[in-house]
Amino acid sequence: MLYNKTQWREALEKGASVYYFYSSDPFLARTAAEKTLAELAAATDGEVTVLDGPAPSVEEMVMAAGTISFFGTRRIVSMPNLQPASCGEKDLEEVCDVLASTENATFVMFSVFTEERGQLKIGKQAKKLIALCEKEGYAAQMVHPGPQQLRALLRQRAREQGTELSENAAAAMLERCGQDMFLLENEVDKLAAASGYTEITPALVVEMGTRNLEADVFDMVRCVTSRNAARACEMLEVLLRLKTDPIAITAALASSFVDMYRVKAAQAQKLDYNRVYKDFGYTGKPTRLQISGRNASSYTLAQLAACLEVLAELDGDLKGGSPTAPDVLLQTALCRLAAAGGRR
Protein backbone atom coordinates (compact mmCIF):
# COMPACT_ATOMS: atom_id res chain seq x y z
CA MET A 1 0.00 0.00 0.00
CA LEU A 2 1.28 3.44 -0.89
CA TYR A 3 1.57 6.03 1.86
CA ASN A 4 -1.59 8.01 2.49
CA LYS A 5 -1.44 10.82 5.03
CA THR A 6 -5.12 10.51 5.97
CA GLN A 7 -4.84 6.77 6.62
CA TRP A 8 -1.62 7.29 8.55
CA ARG A 9 -3.32 9.91 10.73
CA GLU A 10 -6.30 7.60 11.31
CA ALA A 11 -3.93 4.83 12.45
CA LEU A 12 -2.36 7.22 14.96
CA GLU A 13 -5.77 8.28 16.29
CA LYS A 14 -6.86 4.64 16.66
CA GLY A 15 -3.70 3.79 18.58
CA ALA A 16 -2.26 1.28 16.12
CA SER A 17 0.46 -0.85 17.70
CA VAL A 18 2.64 -1.34 14.60
CA TYR A 19 3.94 1.07 11.94
CA TYR A 20 6.12 -0.11 9.08
CA PHE A 21 7.52 2.06 6.28
CA TYR A 22 9.53 0.82 3.31
CA SER A 23 11.06 2.42 0.22
CA SER A 24 14.00 2.36 -2.17
CA ASP A 25 14.96 5.79 -0.80
CA PRO A 26 16.52 5.64 2.70
CA PHE A 27 15.63 9.27 3.37
CA LEU A 28 11.92 8.77 2.70
CA ALA A 29 11.62 5.61 4.80
CA ARG A 30 13.63 7.03 7.70
CA THR A 31 11.80 10.36 7.67
CA ALA A 32 8.38 8.66 7.77
CA ALA A 33 9.44 6.56 10.76
CA GLU A 34 10.95 9.55 12.57
CA LYS A 35 7.79 11.60 12.02
CA THR A 36 5.68 8.76 13.41
CA LEU A 37 7.95 8.42 16.45
CA ALA A 38 7.68 12.15 17.10
CA GLU A 39 3.87 12.05 16.87
CA LEU A 40 3.64 9.06 19.21
CA ALA A 41 6.05 10.54 21.74
CA ALA A 42 4.23 13.87 21.77
CA ALA A 43 0.82 12.25 22.18
CA THR A 44 1.71 9.76 24.90
CA ASP A 45 4.89 11.04 26.56
CA GLY A 46 6.08 7.52 25.87
CA GLU A 47 9.70 6.50 26.17
CA VAL A 48 11.48 5.31 23.02
CA THR A 49 13.69 2.25 22.99
CA VAL A 50 15.84 1.80 19.88
CA LEU A 51 16.78 -1.68 18.65
CA ASP A 52 19.54 -1.22 16.10
CA GLY A 53 20.58 -3.79 13.55
CA PRO A 54 19.02 -5.46 10.51
CA ALA A 55 17.38 -8.24 12.54
CA PRO A 56 16.83 -7.61 16.28
CA SER A 57 16.23 -10.81 18.20
CA VAL A 58 12.85 -11.79 19.56
CA GLU A 59 14.34 -11.65 23.05
CA GLU A 60 15.38 -8.01 22.49
CA MET A 61 11.92 -7.13 21.23
CA VAL A 62 10.17 -8.81 24.17
CA MET A 63 12.48 -7.14 26.66
CA ALA A 64 12.04 -3.69 25.08
CA ALA A 65 8.26 -4.06 24.86
CA GLY A 66 7.89 -5.64 28.28
CA THR A 67 9.83 -3.05 30.25
CA ILE A 68 7.46 -0.97 32.34
CA SER A 69 7.47 2.65 31.20
CA PHE A 70 8.50 5.15 33.86
CA PHE A 71 5.50 7.29 32.87
CA GLY A 72 3.03 4.39 32.93
CA THR A 73 2.31 4.74 29.20
CA ARG A 74 2.89 2.52 26.21
CA ARG A 75 6.55 2.02 25.47
CA ILE A 76 7.62 2.96 21.95
CA VAL A 77 10.06 0.59 20.25
CA SER A 78 11.97 1.86 17.23
CA MET A 79 13.51 -0.68 14.83
CA PRO A 80 15.41 1.34 12.19
CA ASN A 81 16.66 -0.16 8.95
CA LEU A 82 15.08 -3.55 9.59
CA GLN A 83 16.01 -6.18 7.00
CA PRO A 84 13.44 -9.01 6.95
CA ALA A 85 15.64 -11.08 4.63
CA SER A 86 18.19 -11.30 7.46
CA CYS A 87 15.67 -13.22 9.58
CA GLY A 88 15.22 -16.95 9.24
CA GLU A 89 11.70 -18.14 8.45
CA LYS A 90 11.09 -19.34 12.00
CA ASP A 91 12.62 -16.18 13.47
CA LEU A 92 10.36 -14.00 11.34
CA GLU A 93 7.29 -15.92 12.47
CA GLU A 94 8.28 -15.26 16.08
CA VAL A 95 8.86 -11.57 15.29
CA CYS A 96 5.37 -11.39 13.76
CA ASP A 97 3.91 -13.12 16.84
CA VAL A 98 5.51 -10.49 19.10
CA LEU A 99 4.23 -7.64 16.92
CA ALA A 100 0.70 -9.07 16.93
CA SER A 101 0.46 -9.96 20.62
CA THR A 102 2.23 -7.15 22.48
CA GLU A 103 -0.25 -4.83 24.15
CA ASN A 104 1.93 -2.43 26.12
CA ALA A 105 4.23 -1.25 23.31
CA THR A 106 4.09 0.36 19.88
CA PHE A 107 6.58 -0.69 17.23
CA VAL A 108 7.86 1.68 14.53
CA MET A 109 10.02 0.14 11.80
CA PHE A 110 11.41 0.98 8.39
CA SER A 111 13.23 -0.95 5.67
CA VAL A 112 15.05 -0.02 2.49
CA PHE A 113 14.75 -2.30 -0.54
CA THR A 114 16.45 -2.19 -3.90
CA GLU A 115 14.49 -1.25 -6.99
CA GLU A 116 14.50 -2.82 -10.43
CA ARG A 117 12.65 -1.44 -13.45
CA GLY A 118 10.54 0.78 -11.24
CA GLN A 119 9.47 -1.99 -8.85
CA LEU A 120 10.69 -2.67 -5.31
CA LYS A 121 12.36 -6.04 -4.92
CA ILE A 122 10.46 -7.27 -1.87
CA GLY A 123 11.29 -10.81 -0.84
CA LYS A 124 9.04 -13.45 0.69
CA GLN A 125 10.04 -12.56 4.25
CA ALA A 126 9.31 -8.89 3.75
CA LYS A 127 5.92 -9.62 2.18
CA LYS A 128 4.94 -11.61 5.28
CA LEU A 129 5.96 -8.73 7.53
CA ILE A 130 4.09 -6.17 5.41
CA ALA A 131 0.91 -8.30 5.48
CA LEU A 132 1.12 -8.63 9.27
CA CYS A 133 1.68 -4.90 9.76
CA GLU A 134 -1.21 -4.01 7.43
CA LYS A 135 -3.44 -6.28 9.50
CA GLU A 136 -2.29 -5.17 12.95
CA GLY A 137 -1.46 -1.52 12.31
CA TYR A 138 -0.16 0.55 9.43
CA ALA A 139 2.30 -0.33 6.64
CA ALA A 140 3.08 1.84 3.64
CA GLN A 141 5.48 2.19 0.76
CA MET A 142 7.06 5.64 0.56
CA VAL A 143 7.45 6.86 -3.03
CA HIS A 144 9.47 9.80 -4.24
CA PRO A 145 7.38 12.97 -4.63
CA GLY A 146 7.11 14.71 -7.99
CA PRO A 147 8.52 18.21 -8.70
CA GLN A 148 5.39 20.05 -7.55
CA GLN A 149 5.29 18.14 -4.26
CA LEU A 150 9.02 18.67 -3.80
CA ARG A 151 8.65 22.42 -4.20
CA ALA A 152 5.86 22.40 -1.62
CA LEU A 153 8.01 20.36 0.79
CA LEU A 154 10.93 22.76 0.37
CA ARG A 155 8.72 25.77 1.05
CA GLN A 156 7.32 24.05 4.14
CA ARG A 157 10.86 23.32 5.33
CA ALA A 158 11.76 26.98 4.88
CA ARG A 159 8.68 28.10 6.84
CA GLU A 160 9.76 25.82 9.68
CA GLN A 161 13.01 27.81 9.68
CA GLY A 162 11.09 31.09 9.79
CA THR A 163 12.13 31.85 6.21
CA GLU A 164 10.24 32.56 3.01
CA LEU A 165 11.02 30.52 -0.11
CA SER A 166 9.33 31.55 -3.35
CA GLU A 167 8.07 29.10 -5.96
CA ASN A 168 10.76 30.30 -8.38
CA ALA A 169 13.51 29.88 -5.79
CA ALA A 170 12.30 26.36 -4.99
CA ALA A 171 12.30 25.50 -8.69
CA ALA A 172 15.86 26.86 -8.99
CA MET A 173 16.97 24.63 -6.12
CA LEU A 174 15.54 21.55 -7.84
CA GLU A 175 17.25 22.46 -11.08
CA ARG A 176 20.61 22.91 -9.35
CA CYS A 177 20.50 20.11 -6.79
CA GLY A 178 18.40 17.43 -8.44
CA GLN A 179 15.80 15.58 -6.37
CA ASP A 180 17.86 14.13 -3.54
CA MET A 181 15.69 14.94 -0.51
CA PHE A 182 18.56 14.80 1.98
CA LEU A 183 20.61 17.26 -0.10
CA LEU A 184 17.62 19.53 -0.69
CA GLU A 185 16.70 19.82 3.00
CA ASN A 186 20.31 20.59 3.90
CA GLU A 187 20.33 23.19 1.14
CA VAL A 188 17.21 24.90 2.53
CA ASP A 189 18.74 24.99 6.00
CA LYS A 190 22.02 26.43 4.67
CA LEU A 191 20.37 29.11 2.54
CA ALA A 192 17.90 30.03 5.30
CA ALA A 193 20.86 30.78 7.56
CA ALA A 194 22.63 32.66 4.75
CA SER A 195 19.55 34.85 4.26
CA GLY A 196 19.45 35.75 7.94
CA TYR A 197 16.22 33.74 8.18
CA THR A 198 14.33 36.24 6.03
CA GLU A 199 13.86 35.11 2.40
CA ILE A 200 15.60 32.66 0.08
CA THR A 201 15.51 34.34 -3.32
CA PRO A 202 16.36 32.85 -6.73
CA ALA A 203 19.43 35.13 -6.76
CA LEU A 204 20.63 33.67 -3.45
CA VAL A 205 20.15 30.14 -4.77
CA VAL A 206 22.31 30.98 -7.80
CA GLU A 207 24.94 32.77 -5.73
CA MET A 208 25.35 30.36 -2.81
CA GLY A 209 23.44 27.22 -3.74
CA THR A 210 25.04 23.84 -4.26
CA ARG A 211 25.12 22.29 -7.70
CA ASN A 212 25.41 18.55 -8.17
CA LEU A 213 27.19 16.86 -11.04
CA GLU A 214 23.94 15.79 -12.69
CA ALA A 215 22.73 19.39 -12.92
CA ASP A 216 26.06 20.60 -14.34
CA VAL A 217 26.20 17.84 -16.94
CA PHE A 218 22.55 18.47 -17.79
CA ASP A 219 23.46 22.05 -18.75
CA MET A 220 26.51 20.78 -20.65
CA VAL A 221 24.35 18.36 -22.65
CA ARG A 222 21.94 21.17 -23.44
CA CYS A 223 24.86 23.10 -24.99
CA VAL A 224 26.09 20.03 -26.87
CA THR A 225 22.67 19.31 -28.37
CA SER A 226 22.44 22.97 -29.41
CA ARG A 227 25.79 22.46 -31.18
CA ASN A 228 27.49 24.95 -28.85
CA ALA A 229 30.57 22.87 -28.18
CA ALA A 230 32.61 25.90 -27.12
CA ARG A 231 30.28 26.69 -24.23
CA ALA A 232 30.13 23.00 -23.25
CA CYS A 233 33.93 22.91 -23.08
CA GLU A 234 33.95 26.01 -20.88
CA MET A 235 31.59 24.28 -18.47
CA LEU A 236 33.77 21.17 -18.57
CA GLU A 237 36.79 23.27 -17.64
CA VAL A 238 34.99 24.53 -14.54
CA LEU A 239 34.15 20.99 -13.46
CA LEU A 240 37.72 19.84 -13.93
CA ARG A 241 39.05 22.83 -11.95
CA LEU A 242 36.76 21.68 -9.14
CA LYS A 243 38.52 18.28 -9.26
CA THR A 244 35.46 16.46 -10.60
CA ASP A 245 36.38 12.92 -11.64
CA PRO A 246 36.53 12.69 -15.49
CA ILE A 247 35.06 9.18 -15.32
CA ALA A 248 32.10 10.48 -13.28
CA ILE A 249 31.55 13.24 -15.85
CA THR A 250 31.60 10.64 -18.62
CA ALA A 251 29.10 8.45 -16.76
CA ALA A 252 26.73 11.40 -16.33
CA LEU A 253 27.05 12.29 -20.03
CA ALA A 254 26.34 8.69 -21.00
CA SER A 255 23.27 8.60 -18.76
CA SER A 256 21.85 11.68 -20.51
CA PHE A 257 22.48 10.27 -23.98
CA VAL A 258 20.99 6.91 -23.00
CA ASP A 259 17.82 8.78 -21.96
CA MET A 260 17.78 10.55 -25.32
CA TYR A 261 18.26 7.28 -27.22
CA ARG A 262 15.45 5.58 -25.31
CA VAL A 263 13.04 8.44 -25.98
CA LYS A 264 13.96 8.56 -29.67
CA ALA A 265 13.52 4.79 -30.01
CA ALA A 266 10.14 5.01 -28.27
CA GLN A 267 9.02 7.81 -30.58
CA ALA A 268 9.94 5.64 -33.56
CA GLN A 269 7.59 2.98 -32.15
CA LYS A 270 4.91 5.63 -31.40
CA LEU A 271 5.21 5.03 -27.64
CA ASP A 272 4.73 7.84 -25.13
CA TYR A 273 6.99 8.98 -22.29
CA ASN A 274 4.97 7.12 -19.68
CA ARG A 275 5.71 3.79 -21.35
CA VAL A 276 9.46 4.49 -21.40
CA TYR A 277 9.34 5.79 -17.83
CA LYS A 278 7.70 2.58 -16.63
CA ASP A 279 9.62 0.07 -18.78
CA PHE A 280 13.04 1.35 -17.76
CA GLY A 281 12.23 1.94 -14.09
CA TYR A 282 12.68 5.71 -13.87
CA THR A 283 11.78 7.09 -10.46
CA GLY A 284 11.61 10.53 -8.91
CA LYS A 285 12.16 12.49 -12.11
CA PRO A 286 8.90 12.68 -14.08
CA THR A 287 10.10 15.52 -16.36
CA ARG A 288 13.46 13.95 -17.15
CA LEU A 289 12.33 12.12 -20.28
CA GLN A 290 10.42 15.10 -21.64
CA ILE A 291 13.57 17.20 -21.43
CA SER A 292 15.55 14.35 -22.99
CA GLY A 293 13.03 14.31 -25.84
CA ARG A 294 13.65 18.01 -26.51
CA ASN A 295 17.42 17.51 -26.38
CA ALA A 296 17.16 14.58 -28.80
CA SER A 297 15.14 16.50 -31.38
CA SER A 298 18.23 17.47 -33.41
CA TYR A 299 19.49 13.87 -33.64
CA THR A 300 18.37 10.79 -35.52
CA LEU A 301 18.31 7.44 -33.74
CA ALA A 302 21.42 6.37 -35.67
CA GLN A 303 23.23 9.56 -34.64
CA LEU A 304 22.40 8.94 -31.00
CA ALA A 305 23.70 5.40 -31.30
CA ALA A 306 26.95 6.86 -32.70
CA CYS A 307 27.09 9.27 -29.72
CA LEU A 308 26.85 6.35 -27.31
CA GLU A 309 29.77 4.73 -29.14
CA VAL A 310 31.78 7.95 -28.70
CA LEU A 311 31.06 7.90 -24.96
CA ALA A 312 31.91 4.19 -24.66
CA GLU A 313 35.22 4.91 -26.41
CA LEU A 314 35.85 7.85 -24.05
CA ASP A 315 35.14 5.70 -21.02
CA GLY A 316 37.54 3.03 -22.27
CA ASP A 317 40.28 5.57 -22.93
CA LEU A 318 39.92 7.14 -19.47
CA LYS A 319 39.95 3.78 -17.70
CA GLY A 320 42.58 2.21 -19.95
CA GLY A 321 45.34 4.67 -19.26
CA SER A 322 45.35 6.51 -22.60
CA PRO A 323 48.46 8.71 -23.04
CA THR A 324 46.16 11.60 -23.98
CA ALA A 325 45.26 13.90 -21.07
CA PRO A 326 41.71 13.38 -19.66
CA ASP A 327 40.69 16.99 -20.34
CA VAL A 328 41.66 16.64 -24.01
CA LEU A 329 39.77 13.36 -24.30
CA LEU A 330 36.65 14.94 -22.81
CA GLN A 331 36.85 18.09 -24.95
CA THR A 332 37.28 15.99 -28.09
CA ALA A 333 34.28 13.85 -27.15
CA LEU A 334 32.09 16.91 -26.54
CA CYS A 335 32.98 18.29 -29.97
CA ARG A 336 32.21 14.93 -31.61
CA LEU A 337 28.87 14.73 -29.80
CA ALA A 338 27.91 18.25 -30.90
CA ALA A 339 28.97 17.59 -34.49
CA ALA A 340 26.95 14.37 -34.64
CA GLY A 341 23.61 16.17 -34.45
CA GLY A 342 21.90 18.76 -36.58
CA ARG A 343 21.00 16.46 -39.48
CA ARG A 344 17.66 14.64 -39.74
Dist. CA 164–CA 255, nearest whole Å = 35
Buried b (16+ CB within 10 A) or exposed e, 55-87: bbebebbeebbeeebeeebbbbbbbbebebeeb
Residue type at 10 in one-letter notation: E
User: What pLDDT is attached to residue 71?
Assistant: 52
Range list for CATH 1.10.8 in the chain: 147-208
- Buried b or exposed e, range 154-187, using 16+ CB within 10 angstroms: bbebbeebebbbbeebbbbbbebbbbbbeebeeb
Domain with CATH 3.40.50.300 in the chain: 5-141
Q: What pLDDT score was predicted for residue 140? A: 95
pLDDT of 163 over the 90 cut: yes
Say if domain 147-208 classifies as CATH 1.20.120. Answer: no
More confident residue, 19 or 148: 19
Count Cα atoms within 13 angstroms, Cβ side, for 322. 16
Per-residue model confidence as pLDDT tens digits over 89-125: 888 899 999 999 888 899 999 999 988 766 788 999 9
User: pTM, whole model, 2 decimals?
Assistant: 0.59
pLDDT band for 344, please (50, 70, 90 cuts). Answer: very low
Residue 242 — pLDDT band, cuts 50, 70, 90? confident
pLDDT, tens digit, 9 for 90 and up, residues 27-82:
889 989 999 999 998 887 667 889 988 888 888 898 888 655 555 567 899 999 89
Architecture of the CATH domain 213-340? Up-down Bundle (1.20)
> Which part of the chain is CATH 1.20.272.10?
213-340
Domain 5-141 listed as CATH 3.30.360.10: no
Predicted confidence (pLDDT) at residue 284 exceeds the cutoff of 70: no
Q: Are 336 and 294 in contact (CB under 8 A)?
A: no
Quote the pLDDT of residue 286: 54
CA distances from 119 to 122, 141, 149, 224, 258 (A): 9, 11, 21, 33, 20
Using alpha carbons, list the distances in angstroms from residue 276 to 135, 144, 266, 281: 35, 18, 7, 8
